[in-house]
Amino acid sequence: MKTLATWLPPAVAAALIAAGCVSAPEKDLHARHDDTQRAVYVASGSTDAKEGLDGNSTLDAYLQHAFSHSPGLRSAFDRWKAALERIPQARSLDDPTLSFEYFVEQIGTRYQTSLTQMFPAFGKLALRESRAAAEAEAAMHTFEAERLTLFDHVVKAFYEYYYLFRATQVTDENLRLLADLEQVVTTRYKAGLAPFADLVKMQVEKDRLANELGTLRDERAARSAVLAALLNLPVYDVLPWPKASPSGPAIVELGVLDDLLADLNPELKAAESMIAAEQYREKLGRKSYLPDFMLGASWMVMPGMDGRGDESDVGLMAGITVPIWWGKYRAEIREAGAMLRAAVNDRDNMRNMLKAELSMAIFKFRDAERRIGLFATSLVPKAAQALEVAKQEFSTGKADFMTLIDAQRTHLDFRLMLERATADREIALGEIGCCIGKYDLGNNPRVLSPASRKGTPSKEEEGKDN
């Protein structure tokens, strides 16, 4: 007896085989997903949440830990995986229909078994697969954008925490300096060389600075909580002070950065992928006018004639859908066109916003470098010199008490401003890297000039060589 499978047309078997084939873009996306999983969650992963993070941990260690432990980033990674799994669903046929019909009054047929399969019009499955692949590629770029955003947040939290550490150190040093000056004022007061008002003012200044130091120390728990949340560590466990060192020189040129932004930024790449997905959607909508096909086979069992045994027969079926609701199809095409235009506008708006953010980040970087140069080479050394002169002249009675206090306050303010500018520079570099889509766990972000990108030394490098 012949089975139903024997009667299935070769086209059915070919379609079933094609539905199970993995396309080249899908293989590439899976390979990139597996590479990312090995790099982020296997090579740098750790079962111990606090492993490797101590007082000697650098920014690189914090970034690696954040990448491998952040639940937000893991969520984006799983959404990427989910998008990949939608590709084989999109290219697959609908399930075939197996039906069994039993006739109560068995006059002509006792029972009948049918197997039918719907086949979309030519090109529909390929468009569905292409759209799903484009959406999966968008999910991949979205994951990279999430990782860059996490990078930016960790850099900010790390250097804000480091600035708090340095501000606490500088303020504590100045408080000890005031304690030493208080002894000088007390000695002069006892010797009748300074009025009691100077001693009171010194004590008030010391208490004021002690209050500022207390505020800085209290702030540590809050700053630590921000960083710990990004690292998926217990928020209320205070992290050790980080170990940081200023990054080397960076050449920042708007034209080069703008080109890098267009080439590397994952948010723009995700937007481009979504545009491609909507284009496939529009093409698929235009194929709604085409009928889908149905092929099938049936096996019928009928009573035999003249008392003979049951007889059987096999039937073949074919059919098509009748696309008559043109208003629905036109609405589907209009919807796809509107979504495509929205995707293009989203891309353009995102590009404009990223360029504005890049411009602001460049300003912050240059402003921070200017302040570093001003305070490090001029204001802080001069303020330290002025403080030493004021201390000597006050001890000999050549300067009044307020001159000494003003010199001490100026020196403290300039040192804190230098630390603030140093932290701002590193944060601005992180923002630049986030905008252009460029970072490196081994080194802090570096933006190269066009000459150095082509392998030739930049002007700054030539100057160093000379």
pTM for the predicted model, two decimal places? 0.82
Which bin fits 458, alpha (ψ -120 to 50), beta or left (φ > 0)? beta
* Residue 302 burial (10 A CB sphere; 0-12, 13-18, 19+): middle
Find residue 317's DSSP bridge partners.
296
Residue 15 has a pLDDT of 52
Could you report the average pLDDT of every consecutive run of 10 residues in the chain (466 residues)? 44 52 84 89 58 79 91 94 93 91 72 90 92 95 94 95 94 88 80 79 88 94 94 91 79 83 92 95 92 91 71 87 90 94 96 94 93 94 92 79 87 94 93 84 36 37 40
Place of tokens 């601005």: 428
Distance CA 343, CA 346 (A): 5
Distance CA 163, CA 170 (A): 10
Distance CA 459, CA 421 (A): 26
